[in-house]
Amino acid sequence: MLCDQCRERDAVLNLTQIVENAVTQLHLCEKCAAERGIETTVSMPKHPLGEFLQAVQQQALQLPGDAARCAYCGTSLRDFRASGRLGCAQCYGAFEQSLRDLLRRVHGSAKHVGRRYEVANPQLMERDAALSELRDRLQQAIASEEFETAATLRDQIRTLE
């Protein structure tokens, strides 16, 4: 049976609603059910990471695709769900709320209380990191003959240097 809402996917859920004494039956697919905020009865894995990933999956379904992607490294929640690994430090910002929930579940706390760390010479180190990133991109741009991009990158490198 097709989903009553999207008429594209198979319905997996039978929703009985009573509104002002009128009983309505809705057959929904997983995605449309999730959009309505209804938990589907997909078997829940026991592993804490698995549960989290499932939660992420449901959340991802509600979000437009782009919102669930790290702008820096391009890792999506879907990638994270598949591999269990984040792509970069910025992913922690991009998926902050979901991660806070996961960390709480895995560690019993989402707050680091151990050693604080400060980069010894932050400006210099950040500059070095940015420079090497730019140089790397410049090499790639030259290799793929994107000369306009290469020129822009070269200017950026000069400014930083």
Task: List residues near another protein by CB under 8 A.
Answer: 49, 72-75, 83-89, 92, 99, 102-103, 106-115, 117-120, 122, 125-126, 128-130, 132-133, 136, 139
CB-based contact 4:11 (threshold 8 Å):
yes
**Nearest CB to another protein, comparing residues 133 and 155:** 133
The identity of residue 1, as a single letter, is M
Biggest distance spanned by C-alpha atoms of the chain: 73
Closer residue to another protein (CB): 6 or 125: 125
Task: Give 2 or 129: the residue with its C-beta nearer to another protein.
Answer: 129
Q: Shortest approach of another protein to residue 5 CB, angstroms?
A: 34
CB-CB contact of 77 with 59 (8 Å)? yes
What is the distance of C-alpha 43 from the center of its chain?
A: 22
Smallest separation (angstroms) from another protein to the CB of 102:
6
